[in-house]
Structure 1
Amino acid sequence: MSTPRTLTLPAGVRPATLETERGSFATLQAVPDVGTPLGTVLLVPGWTGSKEDFTPLVDHLARYGWRTVAVDQRGQHETPGPADPSAYTLTELAADVVAMSQALGGYSQLVGHSFGGLVAREAVLADPSVFSTITLLCSGPGGFSDEAKVQGLQMLAFGLDNLPIEQVYDLKLEHDSKEPRYVAPATEIAEFLRKRFTGNVPAGLSAITKRLIDAEDRTEQLAKSGVRAQVVYGESDDGWPLAVQDRMADILGVRPQVIAGAGHSPAIEQPAATARILVEFFHDR
Structure 2
Amino acid sequence: MSTPRTLTLPDGVRPETLETDRGAFATLTAVPDLGTPLGTVLLVPGWTGSKEDFTPLVDHLCRYGWRTVAVDQRGQYETTGPSDKSAYSLAELGADVVAMSKALGGYSQLVGHSFGGLVAREAVLTDPSVFSTISLLCSGPAAFTDEATIQSLQMLAFGLENLPIEQVYDMKLDHDSKTPGYVAPPEDVAAFLRKRFTGNVPTSLAEITRRLTDAEDKTDQLAKSGVRMQVLHGATDDGWPLPVQQAMAVALGVEAEVIPDAGHSPAIDQPAATARLLVDFFHDYPSLMTN
The TM-score bracket by the shorter chain reads over 0.9
Can you list the C-alpha shifts for 1:187-210, whole angstroms capped at 9, x where unaligned?
Answer: 000000000000000011000000
Distance 1:60 1:147 in 2: 38
Per-residue deviation, 1:4: 0.3
SS at match of 2:261: coil
SS at match of 2:238: coil
SS at match of 1:166: helix
Partner of 2:37: 37
Q: Percent identity?
A: 79
Partner of 1:46: 46
1:174 aligns with 2:174: yes
**Aligned amino acid, residue 17 of structure 2:** T
Where in structure 2 are the equivalents of 1:182-193 lying within 5 Å? 182-193=182-193
Partner of 2:161: 161
Where in structure 2 are the equivalents of 1:100-119 lying within 5 Å? 100-119=100-119
1:129 aligns with 2:124: no
Distance 1:43 1:222 in 2: 18
Partner of 2:63: 63
Gaps of 5+ in 2: 286-291
- Structure 1 runs, 4 residues or longer, greater than 2 Å off: none
Partner of 1:273: 273
Distance 1:132 1:149 in 2: 34
Per-residue deviation, 1:173: 0.3
Where in structure 2 are the equivalents of 1:130-145 lying within 5 Å? 130-145=130-145
Distance 2:140 2:153 in 1: 16
Can you list the C-alpha shifts for 1:97-131, whole angstroms capped at 9, x where unaligned?
Answer: 00000000000000000000000000000000000
State the TM-score, normalizing by the size of structure 1.
1.00
Distance 2:94 2:191 in 1: 30
Give the count of matched residue pairs: 285
1:97 aligns with 2:97: yes
Distance 2:181 2:237 in 1: 13
**Aligned amino acid, residue 138 of structure 2:** C
SS at match of 2:192: helix
Per-residue deviation, 1:181: 1.3
Where in structure 2 are the equivalents of 1:225-264 lying within 5 Å? 225-264=225-264
Can you list the C-alpha shifts for 1:47-82, whole angstroms capped at 9, x where unaligned?
Answer: 000000000000000000000000000000000000
Distance 1:22 1:52 in 2: 22
Distance 2:254 2:181 in 1: 32
**Aligned amino acid, residue 37 of structure 2:** P
- CA RMSD, 1 decimal: 0.4
SS at match of 2:206: helix
Partner of 2:3: 3
Per-residue deviation, 1:176: 0.3
Gaps of 5+ in 1: none
Distance 2:120 2:134 in 1: 7
**Aligned amino acid, residue 44 of structure 2:** V
SS at match of 1:236: coil
SS at match of 1:11: coil
State the TM-score, normalizing by the size of structure 2.
0.98
**Aligned amino acid, residue 103 of structure 2:** A
Partner of 1:219: 219
**Aligned amino acid, residue 276 of structure 1:** R
Partner of 1:208: 208
SS at match of 1:55: helix
